[in-house]
Structure 1
Amino acid sequence: MPTLSREQPEPPHVAMHQARRMAESFGADAQGYDRARPGYPDALVTRIAAGIPGTPGSDVHDVLDVGCGTGIAARQFQAAGCEVLGVEPDARMAEFARARGLRVEVATFEEWQPGGRTFDAVVAAQSWHWVDPVAGAVKAARVLRPGGRLAIFGHVYEPPAEVAEPLAEALRRAAPDSPFGGRPARRPLGHYQAAYAKLADTIRETGEFEDAEQWRFDWERSYTREQWLDLLPTTGGLTRLAPDQLAEVLEAVGSAIDSLGGRFTMEYTTLAATAVRAAAS
């Protein structure tokens, strides 16, 4: 979705990992975030979990979840039989995740101290654009066991034009100074595929991984007016709006959904950039 920064990596010229106030704004409503945000395709989680080596002497996979948020992806990996440690810079999100059974350490990934620990997989679900891409890839290699997998993934979703255009117009009107207000209502999938190709290049350039791959999973989900308006305030384009600005945006989007009969179908594409840690030479 073009105006939602946490969902997709931004073009390489935008240093999103330096925008810490926005990166750590999602915890203002951790419960709402966890309730509204969609999970990830089971096929993606299964493919990652099945393609990594087990912990020596055990059948359990150790997974490090970078920017774990409230633990949406982490809980899916736990359900797939993995042992998961989350790293999350927002203490409010970390507290929510811990309350639901996830081990979480509060830090940015760049500053996090592994203390000699290594993992079978390092994953980042819609969070890697808050990490310095070069330093992050190098650190991921350092904490991965040989044969372990780095998997960076996130959703691309563009609502129908009948919903996206009123959202973009309302943002321009209610928050003219917002960095999201000047963007087009919808952007092509190729825009996001190019961003993931750039991620794959960055991983490859470390020299620590086997050739990086890109994966794609297509799916869809139906949203009612209430469900979509529940999700919108948890997104990067809206988390820092004043209450009156947010109300104006939600009113415009709600009216647009009403005109579609009170619901619409969202076509999702979940993209991943992934690579396996090379064996030690």
Structure 2
Amino acid sequence: MPTIPSEGSRPPVREPHRHRGVAESYGTDAERYDRARPRYPRALVDRVLAAAPGTDVLDAGCGTGIAARQFAAAGCRVLGVDVDPRMAGLARRHGLETEVSAFEAWEPAGRKFDAVVSGQAWHWVDPVAGPAKAAQALRPGGLLAVFWNAGRPAPGLAASFAEVYRRLMPGSLAERQWAAPASASGAYAALCAKAAEGIRETGAYGAPERWRFDWEHTYTRDAWLDQVPTTGDHTQLSPDDLEKVLSGIGAAIDAVGGSFTMRYSTPVVAAARNDTV
């Protein structure tokens, strides 16, 4: 059985999972989060189900149930786990069975699943304790699949976004994101590498695989501005500062005609649980 390390046994490095206050801030407007955040490509859902031994799915960090509902629509029985009761509450209102807990502290209580998935949330989970907990909940041969949506607009618009954040939120994650070289998935390469490293460290899985799904979505000005407050540093802004950011971003979108196409890449790290664990 994989061992979940104690908090004191790991070095005190600066990693997202040690800053859960940011993760738990998304529930301040759970309905906006659910409405505005992008979904995941159906090809990803199909690939997970083709690799898993069955259709019992556990969604770790399910949030409002965006990914969970996609798996349920594909015929799966899904249980969600999320640390934020506001997000979990909305997931329940959408018909998803959900339990409130940090994933590392959640107890399977003898339940077994064919797949553990996590969309846009695994960086908030301890990179070793998370896959160790997932292994406890997986049947032999069950699949752990963690994934993120990484989006990139045309280079000119990305530069305009970066300039807004440079002026209004200097040094922020948003500024770094849009000022980075033009690659949809490049910013998530480190998260994927960390996830794969943690999976290997448990000794509970076969070799992690990397998958990638590319797709596009067109946003109107209003649709993009609806999503912005649900992301990263924006959840920590005062209403006045957020309004300034939204005004600047809106002007940048107006300058390119009032809408734009976001080119998304969805990288996945997946690994099957060892039969002998």
Deviations 1:4-52 (A, max 9, x none): xxxxxxxxx6410111210101111111111111111101101111221
Answer yes or no: is 1:247 the counterpart of 2:243.
yes
Contact 1:163 1:253 in 2 (8 A): no
Task: Return the alpha-carbon distance in structure 2 between the equivalents of residues 123 and 164 of structure 1.
Answer: 30
Contact 2:165 2:245 in 1 (8 A): yes
TM-score between both structures, scaled by the size of structure 1: 0.88
Q: Which residue type is aligned with residue 208 of structure 2?
A: A
Matches within 5 A, 1:108-147: 108-147=102-141
Deviation of 1:165 (Å)? 2.9
Deviation of 1:53 (Å)? 1.4
Deviation of 1:179 (Å)? 5.5
Kindly indicate which of the two structures has a greater share of residues assigned to helix: 2
Structure 2 unmatched runs, 5+? 1-12
Task: Return the alpha-carbon distance in structure 2 between the equivalents of residues 218 and 182 of structure 1.
Answer: 22
Matches within 5 A, 1:144-223: 144-176=138-170, 178=172, 180-181=174-175, 185-187=179-181, 188=183, 189-223=185-219
Amino-acid identity (%): 55
RMSD of aligned C-alpha atoms?
A: 1.8
Distance 1:167 1:245, change over 3 A: farther
Deviations 1:38-83 (A, max 9, x none): 11110110111122113xxxxxx21110010010000000011111
Contact 1:175 1:241 in 2 (8 A): no
Contact 2:120 2:147 in 1 (8 A): yes
Distance 1:147 1:124, change over 3 A: same
Deviation of 1:212 (Å)? 0.8
Deviation of 1:177 (Å)? 7.0
- Which residue of structure 1 aligns with residue 37 of structure 2? 37
- Which stretch shows the higher mean deviation, 232-241 or 172-181? 172-181
- Which residue of structure 2 aligns with residue 95 of structure 1? 89
Task: Return the alpha-carbon distance in structure 1 between the equivalents of residues 88 and 187 of structure 2.
Answer: 31
- Which residue of structure 2 aligns with residue 258 of structure 1? 254
Task: Return the alpha-carbon distance in structure 2 between the equivalents of residues 139 and 50 of structure 1.
Answer: 23
Structure 1 unmatched runs, 5+? 1-12, 55-60
User: Counterpart of 1:81 in 2: which secondary structure?
Assistant: coil
Distance 1:195 1:179, change over 3 A: closer
Answer yes or no: is 1:270 the counterpart of 2:238.
no
Contact 2:221 2:253 in 1 (8 A): yes
TM-score between both structures, scaled by the size of structure 2: 0.89
Contact 1:170 1:248 in 2 (8 A): no
Task: Return the alpha-carbon distance in structure 2 between the equivalents of residues 90 and 235 of structure 1.
Answer: 16
Distance 1:255 1:180, change over 3 A: closer
Deviation of 1:275 (Å)? 0.4
